Structure 1
Amino acid sequence: MTPVTRGFTAVAIALFALMVVTQARAQKVPKPDFKQYKRVHQKALDLIRTGKAETAVKFLAVVEEKLSRDAETRYMLAVAQCTLGQADAAEASVEKALELGLPVGRIIGGSHNGLDAIRKRPLIRRLIRQHGKTPVHGPMIGNLSGTSATVWLRTADAATVQVEANTVPLMPGGKISAEVQTRREHDFVAKVVLKNLKPRTKYTYTVTIDGQKNRAANQQFMTFSKSGEAGRFRLAFGGGAGFVPQHEYVWNTIAATKPDALFQLGDNVYIDNTSVMDMHHYCYYRRQSRPEYRSLVAGLGVFSIWDDHDFGTNDCFGGPEVEAPSWKRPVYEIFRDNWANPGYGGGDQQPGIWWDTYINDVHFICIDGRFYRTDPKTTKGELSMLGPAQKRWLLSTIKKSKGTFKVLISPVPWVFKAKGDSRDTWNGFQHERKEIFAFLTKNKIKGVVLMSADRHRSDLWKIERPGDYALYEFNSSRLTNQHVHKTMEAAVFSYNAKQSFGTVDFDTTAADPTATYRIHTIDGEQVFQHTVKRSELN
């Protein structure tokens, strides 16, 4: 063999070895994380959307060995088969998913459900004929006040949506209606704003889609008092709501406490992906399709913020720039389409999800703890969780507040001790928290209560402030999550034995107004109660 021949042979052997290794890597099937159900099908979707649909099929075969009658597995298999051009197999997988209980809305709803390849085939065409003029997700009441409400829902295709609300009992001038068009560029979402509602009044409402009326017993809500007026109301709140089918009944448990509003304070659906935007849509669709959740949110005001697992990845930093990293704006736009909040940061020119609103005379001021958060590894000088624009807004809003109670809401705990030595909470931004608290003292801001989420348990904390009143913090963030965080001895009370949520009853009609915090388990047991009087916050 000549030297040249030996050289060609060596190259050929090396190329063959490289091809074998590459194929072996391509065929390697990841191991499903059965300890966290919410992650299993997200992994499959990530494989599909990153060019590994064949591997996803093999991955789902492993999943099906463990979860033999799982509708979500069959649905995700259909998405993989659509990607691979296997239309007949995809239709069969969809039929099986429906047989196993997958809601029809998962098949016909959402412009990012992964089933476009079979949308014009007989099965989905039939489903659209049967269900296409009903809300596929929602309705959900958002931005509820004493005089207005937003009805959020998603349609199967572009449609005309009308909402008509009537007082209960009927009264002259009690009928209010509004109409919008849904479009693909906003994922067929309707946000129908009902104005000129009567304060402290019960309404029922009908949703009409392309001429078909949709009524349900849970389509009713109660308006609050006029902004600034005293009143009584109950809110439920929490975070840590990954998709866990066996824990989705928590939404029924919340409904049983009869709250007037629901505050979802981050880690609401657990996305954890900044490169596959379809993952965001998928995680919202899963939750929005659950009958327990739909029943709850159709009849009370829903308000939300995000945290790391909805915005980016675990303990992430968005950074100070508006457009960098490039995934920030798309994530913001998807969040905006899937909620009906009072506001979204500084609008599209200064995106974010901070906002404020009054319920009666209680002022809720909610921050975005991720979009502009700076990274200690790359930041020179003081760190910021808020960024300059949001901080100016926050301090100005606090100073102008007329609330009997002023509730400052953060996605992560205000107290430094909630997460050990972690710098992900305000413990990593002590200078900025000190600045905010000093502002409260300097401007003699009274009546402040804190709320937060993030920790997979429910706590009451009391933050002492030398020379000023103590701040109580209501914290809860294990609505559905399987993963749990240890209880904290430094807290006034700390609970983690079961999934849980908080309720807060505000009564500002009392001579000494009160805020009563309760912790409830997923099974409806009340395990803690504490009342904060307004006179304690002077």
Structure 2
Amino acid sequence: MGRAPSSVRSRRPSSSTRRCARSCFSSSNCASLRPFIPRIVSRIMRMLILVLLASGILAAQKQYKRVHQYALRRIINGNAKRVEKDLRAHAAEHPADPETWFMLACAASAAGRKAEGTAYLERAHDLGLPAGRFLAGPRKLLALYDDTTLIRRLHTEFRHRPVHGPLVGAVSIADARIWLRTSGERNVAAVCTTAASATPITAKGRTSARDDFTSVLHLRGLRPSTTYSGRLVIDGQTVSGDEGAFRFTTPPPRGPHDPVRLGFGGGAGYVPQHERMWSTIQGGRFDLLLLLGDNIYIDHPKRPIVQRYTYHRRQSRPEWRALTRAIPTFTIWDDHDFGTNDCWVGPDLDQPAWKVPVFNVFRQNWANPGYGDVPPRPGLPFALTLPTKTRPGCWYTFAWGAIDFFMLDGRMYREKPNEESTTSMLGPRQKAWLFNALAASTATFKVICSPVPFEYRTKGNSKDTWNGFRAERTEVFDFLTKRKIEGVVLLSADRHRSDAWVIARPGDYALHEFNSSRLTNQHVHQTKKDAIFSYNAKQSFGSVTLDPRPGNPTVVYDVIDIDGVRQHRLVLPGSKLKR
């Protein structure tokens, strides 16, 4: 082998160099350096943090849903000037992205740069950022601009208009709930009628700062199988146009009625070019929509300002507002809405300290029929200190004709996953509720909705699914067998694709699981060969038709992509859901 070039050849240090090194590291010189060691370590740590921040920026840029969340977190951590510089660079590459200019205004506000921030806000508005965004918040950061021409004008325009909503939720044969947000504290009402009767049904309430200016209006005295059209009223004025209108049809009473059609999914991080998914779902004209977790992607359980900002982005989209004012929406959460990726936080209500506050923010932004042991709004205030025996969460049940739905909370009381018999995902209170509700159900179909898959093979060796709670899953399945409960269908989310699975049960009928969780996400998970089918080419959702009519009850599961094209279909005759 030839010799290396002299410029890189290893050389023995000269005698003078060796003497210098011995002198530098002598005990006396080390002692003289000690006062400077903390400063040296501090600089090294600062450089490491900058490297990590830079890598975080690069990672965030690959996932649009993270870019501005990450920027907001850094702003409230005191890095507004650096964020403004980084976002200016991002805006140079994406000049037509209004969200970047909006976040630049937040950074400028934190840095006390009102003139620049006002220009950023106006730029975001000119690029089409929905007007309600400027009023929803982050309110503390945007307060600097309250006396600007743009914000004063928007406050005037939205004095009697909703900032977000209306969203229809918790529809039953006798009642429904309507959610909305206003620009300030307002007296609000929902008024609805039917085509057959002009006699109005009215629900009243008030939005408050404590609840992030939201309210849920409870319409009572409804009739089954009836279509209601309604409008919002804000401080005595009826809201005109689409933004004040809502519409829903109540389910039929228990019995063998017409098929029920539902859309379901999860994995809905905010990606502007994929928000058209909500229009695709609306075009399906479903009876109801089930969102089974990772509905908005927060991942900041200690930062309510980031949580609310993430909700505001989705709630401002016109596609979302058009969908949810026309189709009843029922939700549960998963790790990215509740805590962080694959999180478990244990069975205690007060540990970690952010658990109840995160629950309160969740409850402020939906209109579900129940929240574990806590009644739906209106009810206990959000600033509450919950009684020690109370177990809040996002689990509940509801009926739609001959179908019962059992919505599970897989995060609030989840213990550390393993294969030991004592490990629980649900917690004792929720599990007792589930068993009692299943035993009492007389529905033709019982749909159990989980934020994570029941099938072990969906996520390899990960313990984040029911794979980490095998004994408890066995307990649930054994309960179905012991009580001879038939007609069970499993729905789940979490995996960024759409699958169909069959779970064999010796001595009983196999359970079929429909899994879908890539509504709007950019990120995708690989398909699984062991599934009946597995799809990930585009964003997609699950469409399920449950036909309970006697003689030939059936379940049909379709995978529909973001363009409205059916990619897969599975037809299950009712005979396959019996012992």
Q: Which TM-score applies when normalising by structure 1?
A: 0.94
Is the counterpart of residue 253 in structure 1 residue 294 in structure 2? no
| 1:188-227: CA deviation from partner (whole Å, max 9, x where unpaired) | 1111111111221222111111122213456222221125
Q: Which residue is equivalent to 1:296?
A: 323
Q: Which residue is equivalent to 1:344?
A: 371
SS at match of 2:491: strand
Given residue 465 of structure 1, which amino acid in structure 2 is its aligned partner? R
How has the CA–CA distance of structure 1 residues 266 and 23 changed in structure 2, closer, same or farther, with 3 Å as cutoff? closer
Q: In the aligned structure 2, how far is the partner of 1:464 from the partner of 1:12?
A: 68
Question: For 2:202, which of 177, 181, 185 is the aligned residue?
Answer: 177
SS at match of 1:282: helix
Q: 1:76-115 alignment to 2 at 5 Å?
A: 76-110=103-137, 112=139, 114-115=141-142
Q: Does the 8 A contact of 1:71 with 1:98 survive in 2?
A: yes
| 1:70-97: CA deviation from partner (whole Å, max 9, x where unpaired) | 1101111111122222222222211111
Q: In the aligned structure 2, how far is the partner of 1:380 from the partner of 1:415?
A: 18
Q: In the aligned structure 1, how far is the partner of 2:259 from the partner of 2:431?
A: 30
| 1:239-266: CA deviation from partner (whole Å, max 9, x where unpaired) | 0000111111011111111111110000
Q: In the aligned structure 2, how far is the partner of 1:26 from the partner of 1:427?
A: 36
Q: In the aligned structure 1, how far is the partner of 2:176 from the partner of 2:417?
A: 41
How has the CA–CA distance of structure 1 residues 47 and 228 changed in structure 2, closer, same or farther, with 3 Å as cutoff? farther
Question: For 1:513, which of 553, 558, 562 is the aligned residue?
Answer: 553
Q: Which residue is equivalent to 2:264?
A: 237
Question: For 1:360, which of 401, 415, 421 is the aligned residue?
Answer: 401
Q: Which residue is equivalent to 2:218?
A: 193
Q: Does the 8 A contact of 1:112 with 1:281 survive in 2?
A: no
Question: For 2:230, which of 198, 205, 218 is the aligned residue?
Answer: 205
Question: For 1:156, which of 183, 208, 219 is the aligned residue?
Answer: 183
Give the CA deviation at 1:340.
Answer: 0.6
| 1:386-428: CA deviation from partner (whole Å, max 9, x where unpaired) | 1111111111111111211001110000111111111111111
Q: What are the ranges of 5 or more consecutive residues in structure 2 without an aligned counterpart?
A: 1-27, 375-385
SS at match of 1:92: helix
Q: In the aligned structure 1, how far is the partner of 2:555 from the partner of 2:309?
A: 37
Q: Does the 8 A contact of 1:487 with 1:496 survive in 2?
A: yes
Given residue 212 of structure 1, which amino acid in structure 2 is its aligned partner? Q
Q: Does the 8 A contact of 1:233 with 1:260 survive in 2?
A: yes
Q: In the aligned structure 2, how far is the partner of 1:140 from the partner of 1:398?
A: 29
Q: In the aligned structure 2, how far is the partner of 1:459 from the partner of 1:498?
A: 13
Q: 1:95-494 alignment to 2 at 5 Å?
A: 95-110=122-137, 112=139, 114-167=141-194, 169-171=195-197, 173=199, 175-217=200-242, 219-227=246-254, 230-347=257-374, 348=386, 349-376=390-417, 382-494=422-534
Given residue 403 of structure 2, which amino acid in structure 1 is its aligned partner? V
Given residue 399 of structure 1, which amino acid in structure 2 is its aligned partner? A
SS at match of 1:271: coil
Fraction of identical pairs, as percent? 45
How has the CA–CA distance of structure 1 residues 15 and 396 changed in structure 2, closer, same or farther, with 3 Å as cutoff? closer
How has the CA–CA distance of structure 1 residues 205 and 382 changed in structure 2, closer, same or farther, with 3 Å as cutoff? same
Give the CA deviation at 1:278.
Answer: 1.2
Given residue 160 of structure 1, which amino acid in structure 2 is its aligned partner? N
Q: Does the 8 A contact of 1:113 with 1:282 survive in 2?
A: no
Given residue 249 of structure 1, which amino acid in structure 2 is its aligned partner? R
Q: Does the 8 A contact of 2:252 with 2:400 survive in 1?
A: yes
Q: Which runs of 4+ in 1 moved over 6 A?
A: 5-9, 25-28
Q: In the aligned structure 2, how far is the partner of 1:91 from the partner of 1:8?
A: 54
Q: Does the 8 A contact of 2:450 with 2:492 survive in 1?
A: yes
How has the CA–CA distance of structure 1 residues 113 and 356 changed in structure 2, closer, same or farther, with 3 Å as cutoff? farther
Q: Does the 8 A contact of 1:106 with 1:113 survive in 2?
A: no
SS at match of 2:62: coil
| 1:139-183: CA deviation from partner (whole Å, max 9, x where unpaired) | 11000112211111100000011111011x24264x211110110
Question: For 1:43, which of 59, 70, 85 is the aligned residue?
Answer: 70
Given residue 171 of structure 1, which amino acid in structure 2 is its aligned partner? S
Q: What are the ranges of 5 or more consecutive residues in structure 1 without an aligned counterpart?
A: none
| 1:94-130: CA deviation from partner (whole Å, max 9, x where unpaired) | 1111011111111012565731232244431221001
Q: Which residue is equivalent to 2:13?
A: none
How has the CA–CA distance of structure 1 residues 408 and 52 changed in structure 2, closer, same or farther, with 3 Å as cutoff? same
Q: Does the 8 A contact of 1:150 with 1:193 survive in 2?
A: yes
Q: In the aligned structure 2, how far is the partner of 1:211 from the partner of 1:371?
A: 40
Given residue 197 of structure 2, which amino acid in structure 1 is its aligned partner? M
Bigger radius of gyration? 2
How has the CA–CA distance of structure 1 residues 9 and 57 changed in structure 2, closer, same or farther, with 3 Å as cutoff? farther
How has the CA–CA distance of structure 1 residues 281 and 415 changed in structure 2, closer, same or farther, with 3 Å as cutoff? same
Q: Does the 8 A contact of 2:279 with 2:323 survive in 1?
A: yes
Given residue 470 of structure 1, which amino acid in structure 2 is its aligned partner? A
How has the CA–CA distance of structure 1 residues 228 and 284 changed in structure 2, closer, same or farther, with 3 Å as cutoff? farther
Give the CA deviation at 1:131.
Answer: 2.1
Give the CA deviation at 1:50.
Answer: 1.6
Q: Which moved more, 1:524-533 or 1:184-193?
A: 524-533
Q: Which moved more, 1:300-309 or 1:120-129?
A: 120-129
SS at match of 2:141: coil
Give the CA deviation at 1:68.
Answer: 1.9
Q: Does the 8 A contact of 1:206 with 1:214 survive in 2?
A: yes
SS at match of 1:445: coil
Q: Which moved more, 1:47-56 or 1:333-342?
A: 47-56
Q: How many residues align?
A: 531
Give the CA deviation at 1:290.
Answer: 0.6
Q: In the aligned structure 1, how far is the partner of 2:261 from the partner of 2:123?
A: 42
Q: Does the 8 A contact of 1:352 with 1:371 survive in 2?
A: yes
SS at match of 2:61: coil
Q: Which TM-score applies when normalising by structure 2?
A: 0.87
